[in-house]
Amino acid sequence: MTGKAVTEFVAQGATGRDKPVEELSEAEAADELTTLAAAIRHHDDLYYREDTPEISDADYDALRRRNEAIEAAFPTLVRADSPSHRVGIEPAAGFSKVRHRVPMLSLGNAFADSDVEDFFARVRRFLSLQPDDPLTVVAEPKIDGLSINLRYEHGRFVQGATRGDGSEGEDVTANLRTLDDVPERIDGEAPEVLDVRGEVYMTKRDFAALNERQAAAGAKRFANPRNAAAGSLRQLDSKITKQRPLRFFAYAWGEVSKPIAATHWDSLRRLRAWGFAINPLAARCNSAAETLTIYRKVEAERGALDYDIDGVVYKVDDLSFQARLGFVSRAPRWALAHKFPAEQAQTVLEEIAIQVGRTGALTPVAHLKPVTVGGVVVARATLHNPDEIARLDVRVGDSVTVQRAGDVIPQVLGPILDKRPANAEPYRFPEVCPCPLGTPVVHEDGAVIARCSGELACPFQQVERLTHFVSRNAFDIEGLGDKQVRSFFERELIRTPADIFDLAETDKTSLTPIRKLEGWGDKSVENLFAAIEDRRTIPLERFIYALGIRQVGQATAKLLARSYGTLPAWQQVMLAAAGERQEAPEVKKPDLVGEHYAELCNIHSIGTSVADEICSFFSEPHNLQVVRDLEERLEVQAATQPETGDSPVAGKTVVFTGALATMSRGEAKASAESRGAKVAGSVSKKTDYVVVGADAGSKAAKAQELGVTTLSEQEWLTLIGRDG
């Protein structure tokens, strides 16, 4: 890497206006303070509300520093809405939380026609449909807004909430009451309890008018209609929301006390009869080919529509099919979002900076001349890894094509060779990490991943690990974001996760207490300590996810939590498995490594590669210390089992073998898991049932040998209460 890129990473600094403060005239200073106030507010919004920062922390800090320097030089010009008067964004704290009775899920994505054909094939296979059995889906535009749950009780609107993390959102009832599309009362007969779901959005025309008004008032302009809708709905003062023209399309439902129809299509019709706006482009289709025709039609109309859409959603129409198909992870098997192709633009690659991740992986990041792509300003794009840069042969100074697909991180597609400057040099990946240790870079996985070899000693990695630990899906500590973690780390207030829970104590004896630091005051420190206290009790799945074990994302953390129940139980098996793995590092077959290791691999969808990462985490004494220190300070709650009613198979381990007659293997697995059973791939002493289909082989024999109960397919269906 060039020396310039290293400095860039460490001290990325420019605000775009580099006239020294001493040389500014009063008019220039006032003008710049206005721009800075709007810019900082904009970045605060992206960071705190949207979780999609556009600029690095260092660039953000530089904006704030510039603002403070000008204010210090021109104290009479300090604005009433000066960013120095606040840290982060206050309103978010003002909404109370709402737990969704039925989780609000996301959708699986498709980009190619073949993904849609695969979806049809997958659904047919899962439901064991014959080639001539009909399969109807409803195709609807995917509205680019924010999803909302509207709760009606006895026909009256009682509560409205944002999606939040899917399980818990924010109560924005008062703001939703200001929307004409949200009926206060439902006309006609409705179930006693009815959660109506759909998208709040702003039309393109209203968005443009709002931005004009914002500009005229010297307030910030919104980047796109979606952000404008989000910002407008999350106002603490609903009088402001009322002035913002928001709309709502209904397309789904959550908890209902009585089924509303037998098909999705008829449900939409009922929602319409009750007074909700239903998107007029929704259509029924009977094959992949028909849905693709609708997709092209909607895509052709996209530009002329007065609201943003980013694809077409397909939903299996028959609700009894939907019930059988169920969910995987956080998305239903019965629906698919077919996205429109990404939007592209050309700009100049100004610099390649290196970012150090939580696990030490070095990610090259393209710093671009800001350019608008599909309505959003893009200034950064990932270059993934050294191989990708070599493959693209992008060079600093090149004109490049960038693309943005939905909320995916922008990507550099490649250089425009005709425009390459004569002096552009091929990029050389740095041989040492930009972290203060300057340790050598090692290349893994056939050189695809470059990693800092500083491991646990690397301060960049330590900070990233702490940031992950407090992030939204982990400990989710309000008021403790990247910036605060970095600042506390630099001051040696926190070094390991456990330090966070000692912070209030450490602070008492600290030479510079936090409340004296820039951006903090008595109240915000008090709130921070309260937020930390609040997280002393934490669900096991969040705890596991927060540890930041490679390859253990939210879904895997949940599986582990459900499978082992409590922290001591999980830890004990992981330590045993790690010990077994150390004894037999090269052995491929899990069974031959050891009993605990095999048990771990046997959990649905955890393979040897994830299991090996977990074992390597538990083989590192430092990590064990981190877990022990946390254990002393926290109450880790046992995992809650999925709603299984009084299912006789809850907690049991089941193995399916041979060909099943009435359902596919996928449906069989789902039928067991949704009732709280674990599905394993091989038979052991711990197996409770082996369900034997036609032509079963060695597994049935092994069950006999070990004395494990075997069931016919019919017996299984009777056991789970699905025998007609």
**Contact between 150 and ligand IVH per CB under 6 A:** no
Sign, CA dihedral 496-498-504-507, equals negative
**Contact between 138 and ligand IVH per CB under 6 A:** no
Residue number with CB closer to ligand IVH (107 or 494): 107
Three-class DSSP labels, 318-369: EHHHHHHHCEECCEECCEEEEECCCEEEEEEEEEEEEEECCCCEEEEEEEEE
**Contact between 332 and ligand IVH per CB under 6 A:** yes
Choice from 67, 147, 471, 602 touching ligand IVH (CB under 6 A) = 147
Residue number with CB closer to ligand IVH (198 or 430): 198
In this structure, the number of other CB atoms found within 10 A of the CB of residue 108 comes to: 16
Residue number with CB closer to ligand IVH (71 or 199): 199
Spatial separation of the C-alpha atoms in residues 335 and 122, rounded to whole Å? 11
- Which is the catalytic residue, given 142, 220, 315, 652? 142
**Contact between 711 and ligand IVH per CB under 6 A:** no
**Contact between 140 and ligand IVH per CB under 6 A:** yes
In this structure, the number of other CB atoms found within 10 A of the CB of residue 55 comes to: 20
What letter would DSSP give residue 37?
A: H
Q: Under a CB-based contact definition with an 8 Å cutoff, are residues 160 and 173 in contact?
A: yes
Q: Under a CB-based contact definition with an 8 Å cutoff, are residues 193 and 257 in contact?
A: yes
From 136-144, 559-567, 629-637, 716-724, span contacting ligand IVH (CB under 6 A): 136-144
**Contact between 325 and ligand IVH per CB under 6 A:** no
Spatial separation of the C-alpha atoms in residues 501 and 625, rounded to whole Å? 15
- Do strands 689-692 and 653-657 pair parallel, antiparallel, or not at all (unpaired)? parallel
From 101-109, 383-391, 479-487, 555-563, span contacting ligand IVH (CB under 6 A): 101-109
Torsion of CA 557, 562, 567, 568, to 10 degrees: -130
Spatial separation of the C-alpha atoms in residues 201 and 305, rounded to whole Å? 13
**Contact between 337 and ligand IVH per CB under 6 A:** yes
Residue number with CB closer to ligand IVH (325 or 578): 325
Choice from 24, 229, 252, 606 touching ligand IVH (CB under 6 A) = 252
Q: How far is the CB of 137 from ligand IVH (least distance, A)?
A: 12
- Tell me which residue of 439, 473, 471 sits closest to 358, measured CA to CA: 471
Q: What is the largest CA-CA distance in the chain?
A: 90
From 330-338, 460-468, 568-576, 596-604, span contacting ligand IVH (CB under 6 A): 330-338
Q: How far is the CB of 329 from ligand IVH (least distance, A)?
A: 12
- 516 among known catalytic residues: no
- Tell me which residue of 419, 266, 432 sits closest to 356, measured CA to CA: 432
x/- contact string, 194-223, with ligand IVH (CB under 6 A)? -----x------------------------
From 135-143, 257-265, 454-462, 476-484, span contacting ligand IVH (CB under 6 A): 135-143
Q: Two tokens at 356?
A: 């150090």
**Contact between 142 and ligand IVH per CB under 6 A:** yes
Kindly state the helix (H) or strand (E) to which residue 567 belongs, with its residue range.
helix 567-583
Q: How far is the CB of 664 from ligand IVH (least distance, A)?
A: 21
Q: How far is the CB of 79 from ligand IVH (least distance, A)?
A: 36
Q: How far is the CB of 146 from ligand IVH (least distance, A)?
A: 6
Residue number with CB closer to ligand IVH (142 or 384): 142
**Contact between 313 and ligand IVH per CB under 6 A:** yes
Residue number with CB closer to ligand IVH (141 or 364): 141
Q: How far is the CB of 172 from ligand IVH (least distance, A)?
A: 15
Residue number with CB closer to ligand IVH (191 or 332): 332
**Contact between 372 and ligand IVH per CB under 6 A:** no
Spatial separation of the C-alpha atoms in residues 311 and 105, rounded to whole Å? 17
Q: What are phi and psi of 166, to 5 degrees?
A: 100, -35
**Contact between 246 and ligand IVH per CB under 6 A:** no
**Contact between 316 and ligand IVH per CB under 6 A:** no
Q: What is the per-residue DSSP string for 155-182?
A: TEEEEEEE-TTSSEEEB-HHHHTT-TTS
- CA angle (279 as vertex; 276, 282 as ends), nearest 5: 130
**Contact between 577 and ligand IVH per CB under 6 A:** no
Residue number with CB closer to ligand IVH (106 or 363): 106
Write down the H helix ranges in 223-304.
Answer: 225-233, 238-243, 264-273, 288-301
**Contact between 251 and ligand IVH per CB under 6 A:** yes
Residue number with CB closer to ligand IVH (236 or 328): 328
* Neighbour-count burial of 558, counting CB atoms closer than 10 A to its CB (0-12 exposed, 13-18 middle, 19+ buried): buried
Q: How far is the CB of 168 from ligand IVH (least distance, A)?
A: 15
Choice from 256, 271, 335, 532 touching ligand IVH (CB under 6 A) = 335
From 100-108, 117-125, 487-495, 565-573, span contacting ligand IVH (CB under 6 A): 100-108
**Contact between 329 and ligand IVH per CB under 6 A:** no
**Contact between 107 and ligand IVH per CB under 6 A:** yes
Q: Among all residues, whose Cβ is closest to ligand IVH?
A: 147
Kindly state the helix (H) or strand (E) to which residue 562 belongs, with its residue range.
helix 554-564
> Which of the residues 279 through 308 are near ligand IVH (CB under 6 A)?
none
Q: Under a CB-based contact definition with an 8 Å cutoff, are residues 274 and 186 in contact?
A: yes
In this structure, the number of other CB atoms found within 10 A of the CB of residue 533 comes to: 12
Q: Under a CB-based contact definition with an 8 Å cutoff, are residues 85 and 41 in contact?
A: no
Residue number with CB closer to ligand IVH (31 or 343): 343
**Contact between 374 and ligand IVH per CB under 6 A:** no
Q: How far is the CB of 197 from ligand IVH (least distance, A)?
A: 7
Q: Applying CB under 6 A, what is the total number of residues that bind ligand IVH? A: 15
Q: How far is the CB of 330 from ligand IVH (least distance, A)?
A: 9
| Secondary structure (3-state) at 637 | strand
Q: How far is the CB of 253 from ligand IVH (least distance, A)?
A: 10
Using only C-alpha atoms, the chain has a radius of gyration, in whole angstroms, of: 28
Residue number with CB closer to ligand IVH (199 or 541): 199
**Contact between 143 and ligand IVH per CB under 6 A:** yes
E strand intervals along 397-448: 399-404, 411-415, 441-444
Residue number with CB closer to ligand IVH (251 or 429): 251
Q: Two tokens at 67?
A: 């603002």
Spatial separation of the C-alpha atoms in residues 49 and 42, rounded to whole Å? 10
**Contact between 477 and ligand IVH per CB under 6 A:** no
Spatial separation of the C-alpha atoms in residues 342 and 340, rounded to whole Å? 6
| Strand-pair partners of 352 | 366
- For ligand IVH, the binding residues (CB under 6 A) are 105-107, 140, 142-143, 147, 163, 199, 251-252, 313, 332, 335, 337
**Which of the residues are catalytic?**
142
